[in-house]
Amino acid sequence: MQPGRTLRIEAERHGIKVSALCPGVIRTPILTGGEYGRINQPGVSREDFLKSWEQMRPMAPDKFAERVVRAVLRNEAIIVVPAWWKAWWYLERLSPALTLRLSKVLLKRAREMGSGSA
């Protein structure tokens, strides 16, 4: 059983509700730059980097927060936001090895796009 679900079951007897949040790509400073952002990579322009992340369809933080709060109020056990990331979440549960390989391929493509190499 997944850790979030186990904690949910254990905490229930104490009146505590637990939800596990599985966020997709959110348009925050860590994505778009800022002090701790990912754009500061040698040889990668800001435009190329953001273009590679846009393929992941990042969600605006305010929409993300709104959807997460609604899910928490509904007492959902597992919260996957944005909703389209659920496909990846389900695939991960069915075949972790497959999603690991796919993740490596996608990361390699993103790095190639960001560096301008083919």
Angstrom distance (rounded) from CA 66 to CA 45: 32
Domain boundaries, the chain: 3-115
Task: State the average pLDDT over residues 20-32.
Answer: 81
Res 86: pLDDT: 85
Angle between helix 46-54 and helix 96-115 axes, rounded to 10 deg = 150
Say what percent of the chain tops pLDDT 90.
Answer: 31
Res 30: pLDDT: 73
Confidence grade of residue 117 (pLDDT, cut at 50, 70, 90): very low
